[in-house]
Structure formats: structure tokens, C-alpha cells
Structure 1
Amino acid sequence: MSGPANGRFMYFAFGSNLLKERLQLANPSAIFCTTGRLKDYELNFGLWEKHADNTWHGGVATIECHPGAEVWGVIWTLSNENLASLDNQEGVNLGLYSPLEVSVETDKGMVLCRTYQMNNFHACPPSPQYKQVVCLGAEQNGLPMEYLKRLEAIQTNNYSGPSILDQIRPVLK
């Protein structure tokens, strides 16, 4: 596992950034490291304000403390130069998300990673497009089948207009 010494950092993704093509839109240095699970957290979808307008047209992923639960995700290594672009993508400068240091369990042992948690959470279902990106990323990176089934069972808000998925689709071909 690499450390800060070589100019890279570890990032635990659990939402739309599970999908390599999504993450690399703004963070081209992202390289797959491994998959892992974050214990005592659960995955949730929502917004930082009751009626926030966002590019996904619905709730987005966050993690919340929940003893006994677990969130599966992907550990990416990114160049330190992408730390600012990742923070910007997550809305840290706007106060939407806060960076968090978490210990993620992998088959190579515990890995200390940066991840993000939504501030001022309001539950809200995701758009079908956002859910599709999360599910595609989970599939692309081989997350456990039972976790994939849980993701596929998530209810959406049935939004059917344009979204960021339109920018990702051409790259997926």
C-alpha cells in the first residue's frame, strides 16, 4: 500500500465515484487499488438542504455512523495534486461534505483512507441515473453480490431528464 511519501493518497469511494469513468472526469490520476468495507457505517441518500438543486436531480450518497452496519466501496489512489479537485467535486468548499479519515477493511488489512460525509443531511431518494452510476461502479469493481442486490433495491425519485450520466455514457462505450 502506498503512503503520502510517494505523492499519492488513498480515497474510499462508496457513491458515484465507485465508477472509474465518473471519478476520472475531474480526477484523471485515480487508480484502482482494492475494494473494502467500512464497518459501523451505513449508506444513505439525501441532500444537504431540504430542496437543494444538484446535477444529479435527487439524493446523493453519504455514510452515517450505524453500529453493526457496513458500507462496501472502492479504494482509489490519487495524486496529491487531485486532492483539491476531489474536494471541489464533493463540495467541501461549499460546506456540503466534510472530509473524514476512516479505516477500511480489505483483504490486505486495514487501510486508512480519506472519504466524505454529508453535512446537514436530509433523506431524499436518488435519481435513477445516479443509482445506475452507483450500481455500474459496484459491478465494475466486483463488490459482493449481496451488496449489489441491496444497491439495486434502492427506491429512486423517477427523474427522467438530463444528468451527469449523459457525460459519462460516451466514455463507457
Structure 2
Amino acid sequence: YLDLKIPRSVPWKLIFLHWFHLQDFKLDFGHHQGRTSPVWHGGTATIVQSPGDEVWGVVWKMNTSNLSSLDKQEGVADGIYVPIEVNVHTPAGKVLTCRSYQMRDYVRGPPSPQYKKVICMGAKQNSLPTEYQKKLEAIETNNYAGPVPIFEEIEKLTQSRTASLFL
């Protein structure tokens, strides 16, 4: 997740713990039941088991009393994603059991350029390994060129945060 997106989209406090890697999974993109995301106009992210592959990301700590709100945000109630537990590895070699989300009934499909950019911005902001960032940058998109209001909002937040750093 992109840090500047989180405070606007969730009503609870998150604490950054670590970045991690998840072994034998890969990041993929798709459409729930073959339907393109009306928000992102392309495939959205999921993780799928894939021996030998790995996914890099960030572990956030939150109060378990907020899990139902997180599930709602991630589309669990709508049957789009299902929560799963995964064991991730920190840079120090510690193994943590974490909650993640996996898309149900997905049909593979590329993300919009805007969605890919948010994924890449989050990877850069959280200092994920350079090689993994390059892998994310190489993801092919569906070349959607229309408006994506949530992306435009994220860009405004990015610009206002950057501007406030220089005041």
C-alpha cells in the first residue's frame, strides 16, 4: 500500500513494522468473475501460489478489532477477496504470520497504467528491493487512458505531501 493512501481510506491507526517477502507466491492481476474493476479500469492485485516465486511487501500492525472494517474495504463482504493467513519473512529472518487477501474467482487480466503506478509508488516509498521494483515496473498494462478518479486523488495527495516537505 502507498502510505499516503492509507490514512484517507481506513479509519484506524496502522503502524509500519517491516518489509517482507512471501515465498512460493507471486503477484498477479485479474478481474473478479471476469469483470473489470470499475474503480481502476483494469485488473487488480492478488497473490497466487507459485513455487519458486516471491512477493515483496510491507507488514502493518493494527488492532484486531478493526479487521471487519479492513475486510469490508478489501471487498470480502462482496465475495471479491477472501482473507488468508500467510507466513512472511522479514529482512532479519523472522517469520511472521500475517493476514492477506486473495481474489476469488479471478480471471487474469492486466492492470490499468494508473493502478500499476500506485503499486510501483508504494514499492518505492517503502524501499522494497530494487530488483523487485524493476519487476513491478515491467508489468504490462491494458493501456487504459481514460479518467481514474481515485488515481487523480492519490496524485493530488502525493503532490501536496511533496510540496509540504519543502515549506
The RMSD of aligned alpha carbons is 1.3
Alignment partner of 1:160 out of 132, 145, 153: 145
Amino acid at match of 2:133: L
Deviation of 1:141 (Å) = 0.3
* TM-score normalised per structure 2: 0.88
For structure 1, the residue ranges without an aligned partner over 5 or more in a row are 1-17
Is 1:52 aligned to 2:36, yes or no?
yes
Deviation of 1:81 (Å) = 4.0
Structure 2 contact 29–110 (Cα < 8 Å) conserved = yes
Counterpart residue number, 2:62: 78
Is 1:144 aligned to 2:129, yes or no?
yes
Counterpart residue number, 2:163: none
Amino acid at match of 1:167: E
Percent of aligned pairs with the same amino acid:
47
Amino acid at match of 2:9: A
Look up the SS of the partner of 1:55 in the other structure.
Answer: coil
- What is the aligned residue count? 156
Structure 1 contact 104–111 (Cα < 8 Å) conserved = yes
Look up the SS of the partner of 2:5 in the other structure.
Answer: helix
Structure 2 contact 83–99 (Cα < 8 Å) conserved = yes
* TM-score normalised per structure 1: 0.85
Counterpart residue number, 2:117: 132
Alignment partner of 2:106 out of 111, 121, 126: 121
Counterpart residue number, 1:7: none
Counterpart residue number, 1:33: 17
Counterpart residue number, 1:88: 72
For structure 2, the residue ranges without an aligned partner over 5 or more in a row are 160-167
In 1, Cα distance between equivalents of 2:5 and 2:30:
19
Render the CA deviation track for 1:123-155: whole Å, top value 9, x for unaligned.
111001100000000000000001000000001
Counterpart residue number, 2:164: none
Render the CA deviation track for 1:5-30: whole Å, top value 9, x for unaligned.
xxxxxxxxxxxxx2112232222412
Is 1:171 aligned to 2:154, yes or no?
no
Structure 2 contact 27–45 (Cα < 8 Å) conserved = yes
Look up the SS of the partner of 2:95 in the other structure.
Answer: strand
